[in-house]
Amino acid sequence: MEKIYHIGVEATLDVIGGKWKPIILCHLGNGPLRTGELRRRIPTITQKMLTQQLRELEEDEIIVRKVYNQVPPKVEYYLSDEGKTLRDLLVTMSVWGEKRVKRLQAKGQPVELLSQGHEGYLKF
């Protein structure tokens, strides 16, 4: 079936939307990672969701899945060329979100951004 978007944002959200994709993409922003390493860095994601989201990102040609022919298996994921162009966008989006969180916190609202304070948690 043909995909139909009203505006460009929808095409973007179609690719990076959902609970886990931004997180996965951020982790892949610093170079290739093996499946297990990704899982360790995103402790609350389940096996199924990780694989599912990785498959969708691969299908959308945002990441590349490289299989080493070994036992036990070794699989690496890394950003494709198009995926790399997403990095700047994700950074821009993050900056806006961080400002918003600070604004809300300044107003005393109960919001927390784990990537702040918790050193070495995530780049963006």
Partner DNA sequence: CCCATTAGGCACTTTTAAGTAACTATATGA
Partner DNA sequence: TCATATAGTTACTTAAAAGTGCCTAATGGG
Chain contacts with its own copies (rule: CB under 8 A): 1-13, 15-17, 22-23, 26, 82, 85-86, 89-90, 92-101, 103, 110-115, 121-122, 124
Count CB neighbours of 100 within 10 A.
12
**If binding is defined by CB under 7 A, does position 12 make contact with DNA?**
no
Position 85 contacts DNA (CB under 7 A): no
Q: How far is the CB of 122 from DNA (least distance, A)?
A: 18
Contact between 23 and 115 under an 8 Å Cβ cutoff? The reply is no
Q: Give the residue, chosen from 5, 10, 11, 74, that forms a contact with DNA under the rule CB under 7 A.
A: 74
63-68, strands of its sheet edge to edge: 33-34, 74-79, 63-68
Does position 15 interact with DNA (CB under 7 A)? The reply is: no
Q: Which of 15, 20, 63, 79 binds DNA (CB under 7 A)?
A: 20
Give the H or E element holding residue 63: strand 63-68
Q: How far apart are CA 65 and CA 57, in angstroms?
A: 10
Residue 31 neighbours by CB under 8 Å, 6+ apart: 78
Residues in touch with DNA (CB under 7 A): 18-20, 34-36, 45-49, 51, 54-55, 65, 67, 71-75
